Amino acid sequence: MLTLSTFTAKGTPHAIVSFGKPLDAGTPHVIWAHGWGQDHHAFLALAHSLERVAHHTLIDFPGFGQSPVPPENGHSGVWDTRDYADAVAEWLGTLPRGRRVWVGHSFGGRVGLRLATNHSEAVDAMVLVGSHGLRPIRSPATRLKIFWRVRLFKALKLLERLGVDVSARKAKFGSADYRSAGAMRPVFVKVIAEDQSEAIKSIRIPVRILCGALDDQAPPEMSERLASLIPGATVNILPGLDHYTILTDGGPQVAHTVAKLLEG
């Protein structure tokens, strides 16, 4: 039976959906962590496919779904992935302990990496799906384009301070996620600037990485670099899939990977 509830950690409510086996000591527990701009619905069908083999919790991270925007009580005010990971670890510390598998897509992968590095006892295995966590490798042409866009944006801000209406031009800057972030924009800016390349070398749990070959947001080269930095990690690039279809068309492969990790 599906249960809707809330836990509070770091002073912030987190809405969750739970179902599957009763969560008792020794029960396998899968925690499903959605990507930026999504909520628990992103993983609902996948979690249901494994309903009988574990207890499942699908989180709405603060600022998404039914969870309110986090207060400015993070490590340096605005929350970053360390704060999200700290909150999850605080909550997990109150639960019965069985084998835990973290499944993170995109932003949920970023948080999972922080959880595994800063709270090594929190989970026993991890599946990263189209995950971020490293800075992208950009070509010289792309870096030059970004440089000039930043200069132009600063020039527009100067004109704005002088009383010139540049709102229409400013609205064209930034990614779709940035433009739609609203109250979560400060969190978004902090999160995308993070580079976990050094920290993740300390991870000692099994990590399985899945990525769509057509993913242009967390491209295969990023997944391959993640696998090269995390001891014992493996990577599987799925042909014909992108950042989002890996959760639908690639669902059976994700579910199979989770099931194998639940076996230990």
User: For the chain, what is the mean pLDDT?
Assistant: 90
Q: Measured between alpha carbons, how far is 137 from 167 in angstroms, rounded to an integer?
A: 31
Helix-helix angle 81-92:107-118, to 10 degrees: 60
User: What pTM value is reported for the model?
Assistant: 0.88
Q: What is the pLDDT of residues 188-226, one digit of tens each?
A: 999 999 999 999 999 999 999 999 999 999 999 999 999
Write the single-letter amino acid at 76: S
Q: How far is CA 20 from CA 44, 66, 103, 111, 258, in A?
A: 12, 21, 16, 24, 15
Task: List, edge to edge, every strand of the sheet that includes 29-33.
Answer: 3-9, 12-20, 55-60, 29-33, 100-105, 125-129, 207-212, 234-238
Whether the per-residue pLDDT at 89 is higher than 70: the answer is yes
- Percent of the chain beyond pLDDT 90? 79
Nearest C-alpha neighbor of 259 from the set 8, 16, 3, 49: 49
240: left (phi over 0), alpha (psi -120 to 50) or beta: left
The Cα–Cα gap between 29 and 262 comes to 8
From residue 117, give the alpha-carbon distance in Å to each of 18, 121, 131: 25, 9, 16
For 119-168, list the strands marked E by DSSP: 125-129
Tens digits of residue pLDDT in 121-141? 999 999 999 999 998 766 555
- The pLDDT tens digits of the residues spanning 102-111 come to 999 999 999 9
For the cut 90, the answer to whether the pLDDT of residue 231 exceeds it is yes
pLDDT, average across residues 43-72: 97
User: What is the set of domains in the chain, with CATH numbers?
Assistant: 3-135+195-262 (3.40.50.1820), 140-180 (no CATH)
pLDDT at 61 over 70: yes
Average pLDDT over residues 32-53: 97
Which residue, 120, 85, 97, 84, is CA-closest to 207? 120
Cβ neighbour number for residue 217 with a 10 Å cutoff: 17
For 166-187, write each residue's pLDDT tens digit. 566 655 555 666 666 789 999 9
Of 29 and 72, more confident = 29
